[in-house]
Chain A
Amino acid sequence: MKPLIVERVVKQYADKTAVNGISLEVDRGEIYGLLGANGAGKTTTMRMVLGLIFPDEGRILYNGKPYTKQQLRDIGYLPEERGLYPKVKVSEQLVYLARLKGMSAADADKSLKTWLERFGVPEYYDKRVEELSKGNQQKIQFIATIIHRPKLMILDEAFSGLDPVNVELLKSTVKELRDQGASILFSTHRMEHVEELCRNITILHRSNEVLKGSLKEIKNRFPKERVMLAADGEVSGLEELPGVLGVKRHEHAYELRIADEASGRAVLRHAMQQSDVTRFEIMEPTLNEIFIKTVGEKHE
């Protein structure tokens, strides 16, 4: 039984539909990406999964069972906008939050110390949150989400406001939790994070699912339209080739937009006649491109 199944949920606010028939399934040890522009319905979907609001239609199952209060204890939530008590000591509020999730105080304290150690900030134990930098508050918030070892995590923009080093740190932690069997519903605007972490994704646009499935499959569905070409010498006349739609000249390479995969062959042949080719790659579409294409097209 999958830890989280969302079945065709619909949520209506007065005259506006916030979520219109979204379905998704998150397996054990899986990170599921929930993507969408601002106001697409991500937060509403997450709030329904959290049981804060109830769907008008459809249902949400946790390990095959409908929502009960008991499940809250197995859920860890990282809200998009960070929330901690600014004037309360890190140790006090994290132990408090963990105790609300049913942990014993001693257990919570131990868990907190372990995590602070892991993140290299054991000295924050006795600090008040307002004394910490934004990035470090983010670390604390992250610990608050996972301190009670939840089986289902809902991470809304988990890595915003962090420097690259700390992004790596949290990313590796998320991966580790995934490998330990946690199910994670993950939302972000940073497509490269999704590409790195998520097996399956849903792209929402204006309350509707517009794209859904495994990342690989989705990428295959989109034609490969980009070619990266690098050669020792100059390559001229690329623009005149049939099937080439545009050429961007980078410092050490050319980036070409082509009409279809077959046109790539002509490009390679043409380049090899002029110089030694050091790199030739028909690129997969990036998720970024897919996202902009899907969401952007519908926009018009």
Chain B
Amino acid sequence: MNEFWTVTGFTFRNKVKGKAFLITTLILVLILSLAINLPYIISLFKSGGSDSPKTIGYASMQSDLAQSSVTPTLVGDWVKEYFDSQPAGQRKLKLEKIDGGANAASAEAALKKALTDGKISGYMLLEPSKETGFYSALFKSEKMLDNSAVDELKTALQIVKANAAGLTAEQKTLLYAPVDVKALQISADGTAEDAGRTASQQGVNMGMVYAVLFLLFMSIMATGQVIASEVTTEKSSRIMEVLITSVSPLNSMFGKIFGMFLVGLLQIAIYVAAVLINIQIPTNREALGNLDIHLSDVSPDLLIFALLFYLTGYFLFATLYAAVGSLVSRTEDLGQAVMPLTFVSLAGFYLGIFNLANPDSMLVKVTSFIPFFSPYVMVLRVGVGHVATWEVLVSLGIMLVSIYVFGWLSAKIYRTGVLLYGKRPSIKELRKAMKAYKI
């Protein structure tokens, strides 16, 4: 046991002291801080840029004034009224009445002139539509206006259409009062405590699942590669021969894996701290709150299981990376050798990510019990799907058993592999060597 801790300590100290650790950690902390501050930063730009509403022109025509029916000029007035009645802060558009002269032709000329003069940033033409019996609008501007302006106009026209139909104020209120639809995710086999998740909770959980999947994938990729290359370096620099005459291969392998795990844990702790500190900044709390993101919405069982699956997933992959590293004699050959492991990890990650919206499909259910995939997929199910506790525990159990089996196998491969130099051995050669070494 002493040996184990000695190896762990040595691995940990060397990694943490290295420049690579410092730089990658710093960069990621910066990126994370930026990401969290982004909503606030964006809101800063928004309030500066688009606070003042855009001015849209419409024409009043003499030909319309004589008539008493619903003329384009009248509709324009209504739309103007609609926007004017909005509170100043939320107003996106402002209508400007332009004197359009005698008829439609002179009106468009006048509007164009107003546009070139910069009085308006676009104008609206209304033409009678035979299909609807109302007007259809044509919106013209030099620059593409954002879709929201067109949507705003559409809404406004929709509302003023009611004027044309001659509805009373009450009728209009009734018609346009928003209908409240709330979504609540419940589980059908309905345990009593399961009160369901609201949309925002679901959203936060989804974000959490995404973060956990990403973190697990990154940890496995990065740490796994480092473990494998450490082992290969030790082997190619022949210090391995000295090491295995001093320490049992099992202790040396698991000591290394555990040391790297502590490094990863330290890194994650730093990231989490960075995230928490950034979230505590009042401006960010407000910005995130506006986006309906509350950390208290994360389900506690998701956090616990995410941690458990993170740990088991890490150790399962790490032992295999160490075993693969022990088979390779030169660091240059390592990339190719770890490729299959990387693909398996990538497959699990994609299974998780692509099924975020679809957490109860058969594929997800099946793969959540397959080791290598389950750390990704089961976290997804716990976070956003329906899953019984026994299912999670069974999956965890399978993971633990696989860690034991693959850890044992990896230790054997490691023990054999570190003494085999030259080209990468095939499985057959490896078996022969194991027999020959009596391992």
Interface bin, chain B = 20 to 34
Q: Which residues on B sit within 8 Å (CB–CB) of A84? A: 237, 239
Instruction: Fill in one digit per residue for B413-437: 1 if any A CB lies within 8 Å of its CB, else 0.
Output: 0000001000000000000110011
State which of B2, B237, B438 has its C-beta within 8 Å of the C-beta of A53. Answer: B438
**Minimum CB distance partner of A154 in chain B:** B245
A136–B52 Cα gap in the complex (Å)? 75
Contact indicator B238/A83 (Cβ below 8 Å):
yes
The residue on B at minimum CB distance from A96 is: B10
Asked if B187 is at the interface of the complex by the 8 Å CB criterion, the answer is no
| A86 and B7 alpha carbons, distance in the complex (Å) | 17
In the bound assembly, the distance between CA atoms of A11 and B437 in angstroms comes to 9
- Since A53-B436, A77-B241, A82-B238 are in contact, a sample of 10 more A-B pairs with Cβ atoms closer than 8 Å, ordered by chain A residue number, is A12-B436, A14-B432, A14-B436, A81-B238, A83-B237, A83-B241, A84-B237, A84-B239, A85-B14, A102-B2
Q: Give B8 Cβ to nearest chain A Cβ, in Å.
A: 11
Is B436 within 8 A of A77, CB to CB?
A: no
Nearest residue (CB) in A for B248 is: A69
How many Å lie between the Cα of A144 and that of B241 in the bound state?
Answer: 12
Q: Which of A12, A50, A52, A77 has the largest number of chain B CB atoms within 10 A?
A: A52
Residue from A54, A72, A85, A86 within 8 A of B245 (CB atoms): A72
Q: Give the secondary structure class of B's interface.
A: helix
Which residue of B has the minimal Cβ distance to A43? Answer: B241
Whether A85 lies near B436 (C-beta < 8 A) is no
Chain B hits for A88, CB < 8 A: 14
B238–A79 touching, CB < 8 Å = yes
Q: Would you give 22 A-B contacts (Cβ < 8 Å), ordered by A? A: A13-B432, A13-B433, A13-B436, A14-B436, A52-B241, A52-B244, A52-B419, A52-B437, A53-B438, A54-B437, A72-B246, A77-B241, A79-B241, A79-B242, A81-B238, A84-B237, A84-B239, A92-B14, A96-B10, A97-B242, A97-B243, A100-B3
CB atoms of B239 and A85 under 8 A apart: yes
Q: Does A75 contact B (CB under 8 A)?
A: yes
What per-residue 1/0 map shows which CB atoms of B282-300 lie under 8 Å from chain A? 0000000000000000000
Residues in chain A near residue B433, CB distance under 8 A: 13
A185 to chain B, nearest CB (A): 13
Q: Is B247 an interface residue (CB 8 A)?
A: yes
A101 within 8 A of B: yes
User: Nearest CB to that of B242 among chain A residues?
Assistant: A83
CA distance A122 to B13 in the complex (A): 23
Task: Tell whether, in the assembled complex, residue A77 and residue B242 are in contact, meaning their CB atoms are under 8 Å apart.
Answer: yes
A149 at interface by CB-CB < 8 Å = no
Give complex CA distance A159, B179 in Å.
89
Residues of B at under 8 Å CB distance from A? Answer: 2-3, 6-7, 10, 13-14, 234, 237-248, 419, 432-433, 436-438
Is A99 an interface residue, CB under 8 A from the partner? yes
Residues of chain A within 8 A of B432, CB atoms compared: 13-14
* A105 nearest CB across to chain B (Å): 9
Q: Which residue, B3, B10, B241, B436, has most C-beta atoms of chain A within 10 A?
A: B241
B6 touches A50 (CB 8 A): no
Contact between B437 and A85, CB atoms less than 8 A apart: no
A54-B246 in contact (CB<8A): no
Give Cα A12–Cα B435 distance, bound, in whole angstroms: 10
B247→A100 contact, CB < 8 A: yes
Contacts of B3 in A (CB 8 A): 100
* Alpha-carbon distance A77/B244, docked complex (angstroms): 10
Encode contact with B along A86-107: 1 for CB under 8 Å, 0 otherwise: 1010001000110111100000
| Cβ–Cβ contact B240 & A75, under 8 A | no
Give the complex CA separation of A72 and B246 in angstroms: 6
Mask for A257-281, Cβ within 8 A of B = 1, else 0? 0000000000000000000000000
* Residue with the highest number of chain A CB atoms closer than 10 Å, among B13, B246, B432, B433: B246
Given the complex, which residues of A lie within 8 Å of B438, measured CB to CB?
A: 53-54
A13-B436, A50-B245 known; A83-B239 Cβ under 8 A: yes
Chain A residue at minimum C-beta to C-beta distance from B249: A52
Task: With both chains docked as a complex, state the minimum distance between the C-beta of A250 and any C-beta of chain B, in angstroms.
Answer: 42
What is the minimal beta-carbon distance from B231 to any residue of chain A, in angstroms?
13
Contact partners of A96 in chain B: CB under 8 A: 6, 10
A173 to chain B, nearest CB (A): 18
Which residues from B are CB-within-8-Å of A101? Answer: 246
> How far is it, in angstroms, between the C-alpha of A92 and the C-alpha of B438 when the chains are bound?
34
Q: Give per-residue flags for A43-74: 1 if the beta carbon is below 8 A from chain B beta carbons, else 0.
A: 00001001111100000000000000100100
Contact check, A53 vs B245: say whether CB atoms are below 8 A apart.
no
Provided the pairs A14-B436, A53-B436 are in contact, do residues A97 and B238 lie with their beta carbons within 8 angstroms?
no
